[in-house]
Amino acid sequence: MKSDDLRWIFEQLFNRYGPQHWWPAETPFEVMVGAVLTQNTAWLNVERAINNLKQADSLSCQQVVDLPPAELAELIRPAGYLNLKAKRLQNLCRFLLESGGESTLSSYKTDELRQALLSVNGVGPETADDILLYAFQRPVFVIDAYTRRILTAYGLIAGDESYEVLRSGFEAGLPLDSALFNEYHALIVKHAKNHCRKKPQCAGCSLIERCQQGRANEAEEPTAT
């Protein structure tokens, strides 16, 4: 994971897709809810669940905590794992309320906030980093299945590295810039949705093949015809 490779990939994706304006949410709290609901779930179904919460006037910390679990589960049904995610949302919202809310958490150092989020049952590394980056604008790089696939397809990693290894790899190879990390992760997802629908780990992805070809040419033959 060299800095040059990471910068080059970002450049390719940004030139092709442009800015993505992430996270698709109106408020930081909506980001957090979406981060839990999207666990192993297609975003389209998450949108339906969030719309249900909005229409029930329940998209707030206090409302989520106060709702009976079965009712909350019913509202988020489209996002799948409904009973599990209902508990996770309530765990997260209890944590937010007990911590004094977003304003208090904003004063935490990034590492402290990350540890606090990870202490919530149902919030793992990726969900915590989604929240850190997209709700709190902290320069934390989000690693997901798409990121692994793309790096593997580019031959930059073996694919079985731990979450933390990959995260620190990105953070060490790039400027510690939340706006950059925001775009980068969003572009990876955008690219994956456009070109990596088929399973074979992005190996047949036309853009990546073009990019790999382009890189090979740059390296071997900078002044190609």
Partner DNA sequence: ACCCAGGGTCATA
Partner DNA sequence: TATGACCATGGG
Alpha helix stretches (DSSP H) within the chain: 3-17, 28-37, 43-55, 61-66, 69-75, 82-99, 101-105, 110-118, 125-134, 145-153, 163-173, 178-195, 206-220
Return d(Cα 109, Cα 88) in angstroms, integer: 24
Touching DNA, residues 189-218 (CB under 7 A): 189, 192-193, 197, 199
Q: Which of 61, 85, 151, 211 binds DNA (CB under 7 A)?
A: 85
Comparison of 74 and 215: residue with beta carbon closer to DNA = 74
The yes or no reply on residue 53 touching DNA (CB under 7 A) is: no
Nearer to DNA, 144 or 218 (CB): 144
Residue from 35, 59, 151, 205 that binds DNA (CB under 7 A)? 35
Long-range CB contact pairs, 153-159, < 8 A, 24+: 153/201, 153/202, 153/203, 153/205, 153/208, 154/5, 154/9, 154/208, 154/211, 154/212, 155/212, 156/1, 156/2, 156/5, 157/1
Looking at 33, 75, 92, 128, which residue binds DNA (CB under 7 A)?
Answer: 128
- Choose which of 6, 59, 67, 82 interacts with DNA (CB under 7 A): 82
Smallest gap, in angstroms, from Cβ of residue 157 to DNA?
Answer: 15
Nearest residue (CB) to DNA, 12 versus 185? 185
Residue with smaller CB distance to DNA, 2 or 54: 54
Of 199 and 224, which CB lies nearer to DNA in the complex structure?
199
Per CB under 7 A, does 69 bind DNA?
no
Is 45 an interacting residue with respect to DNA (CB under 7 A)? yes
Contacts (Cβ under 8 Å, ≥6 apart) of 98: none
Using the minimum distance from each CB to DNA, give the nearer residue, 141 or 146.
146
Task: Say how far residue 169 (Cα) sits from the centre of its chain.
Answer: 16
* Neighbour-count burial of 21, counting CB atoms closer than 10 A to its CB (0-12 exposed, 13-18 middle, 19+ buried): exposed
Q: Is 123 in the site for DNA (CB under 7 A)?
A: yes
Q: Pick from 50, 126, 174, 191 the residue near DNA by CB under 7 A.
A: 126
- Calculate the alpha carbon distances from 123 to 24, 44, 63, 66, 214 in Å: 19, 21, 20, 20, 39
Contacts with DNA by CB under 7 A lie at 22-24, 34-35, 38-45, 48, 73, 77-78, 80-85, 120-128, 130, 134, 144-146, 163, 189, 192-193, 197, 199
